[in-house]
Structure 1
Amino acid sequence: MTAPILYVDADACPVKAEALRVAERHGVSVRIVSNGGIRPSPHPLVQTVIVPEGPDAADDWIAERIGPGDVCVTGDIPLAKRCLDAGAQALRHDGEAFTPSNIGHALAMRELMADLRSAAPLAAGGGGRPFAKADRSRFLEALDRALRKARG
């Protein structure tokens, strides 16, 4: 079995530093994927990948490369589905794991919220709740579990 790779969908990711810290503890290579605006990491385990501007360019780059045993950190539900379909694990920034049993519900809720926003854009409200310290802690624990599982 090949060593797992940790892919980080880095645009708007609040846990890049935490992901690197856990990956370093496990000796896992990291791909930080973004369409720009981030400083490349000098860390030897990290490859910073800057993709062209455009919708889903980072998602496509990750989805084309991720495979069984790998882990992806993303808030993007369609990308998480693509990762699961490839046999990888996917985690939200708050540590919640996307799984085959919950990804359908997550996609349906995403579509419902998009429909509500388009039907009443002024009444739809702003994003979700703010990212909290407890979310960061849950993420660290969840990523540690995911990488232990990936390493077998």
Structure 2
Amino acid sequence: MTQVIIDGDACPVVNSVIELTDGTGIFVTIVRSFSHFSSVIQPDHVKFIYVDDGPDAVDYRIVKLVQPDDLVITQDYGLASLLLNKAKLVIHHKGFIYNPENINTLLEQRHASAQFRKSGGRTKGPTAFTEDDVAKFESVFSTLIHKYT
């Protein structure tokens, strides 16, 4: 595994990834828009890349950065679909791995919800991110980094 790239604007598992990769030789790149700037000092294996606040600017930078041995963490189904053939693995922050079998269903559900909202309907947002979600992600992520290092 070359590096872990995180779609970092709203990723709730950034700290988990930093802790779990510490001392493994895996580099972590967190891509964020300038509106999410942080001056917190990070370990040497972590770097931040900041991009303009424009729509999809973070996604475009991640697509340009990703290499075949990288693992990407994103909750964005559209970005995940673009990366399936470019990265080693693409994983959601709730611990499920995107693959050709599930991405089309996820994109179709997103499109149907958008169409429903466009016609005046209301949909619920994602469920709250819990400590159980963090634990599940950490378990899956730990397994992956041990498998690929």
Q: Which amino acid aligns with 1:54?
A: G
Of the three residues 132, 145, 148, the one matched with 1:147 is: 145
CA distance in 1, matches of 2:87, 2:44: 26
1:62 alignment partner in structure 2: 62
In the TM superposition, residue 7 of structure 1 has moved relative to its aligned partner by 0.4
2:42 alignment partner in structure 1: 42
RMSD: 1.5
Q: Which string of whole-angstrom CA distances, capped at 9 and with x for unpartnered residues, describes residues 59-83 of structure 1?
A: 1111112122211111001111122
Q: Is the 8 A contact 1:4 1:29 kept in 2?
A: yes
Q: How many residues align?
A: 147
The TM-score, its normalising length taken from structure 2, stands at: 0.90
CA distance in 1, matches of 2:87, 2:30: 20
In the TM superposition, residue 25 of structure 1 has moved relative to its aligned partner by 4.6
Q: Is the 8 A contact 1:30 1:47 kept in 2?
A: yes
Moved more, 123-132 or 101-110: 123-132
Runs of 4+ in structure 1 off by over 4 angstroms are: none
CA distance in 2, matches of 1:17, 1:83: 23
Q: Which string of whole-angstrom CA distances, capped at 9 and with x for unpartnered residues, describes residues 14-59 of structure 1?
A: 1110011112153210101000223144310011000112111111
Q: Is the 8 A contact 1:116 1:124 kept in 2?
A: yes
2:17 alignment partner in structure 1: 19
Q: Is the 8 A contact 2:31 2:50 kept in 1?
A: yes
Which residues of 2 match residues 81-96 of structure 1 at below 5 A?
81-96=81-96
Query: Cα gap change, 1:109/1:125 in structure 2, threshold over 3 Å: closer, same or farther?
Result: closer
Structure 1: 5+ residue stretches without partners: none
Q: Is the 8 A contact 1:69 1:150 kept in 2?
A: no
Does residue 104 of the first structure (1) align with residue 104 of the second (2)?
yes
CA distance in 2, matches of 1:87, 1:58: 16
Structure 2: 5+ residue stretches without partners: none
Query: Cα gap change, 1:140/1:12 in structure 2, threshold over 3 Å: closer, same or farther?
Result: same
User: What SS is found at the alignment partner of 1:12?
Assistant: coil
2:128 alignment partner in structure 1: 130
CA distance in 2, matches of 1:125, 1:111: 12
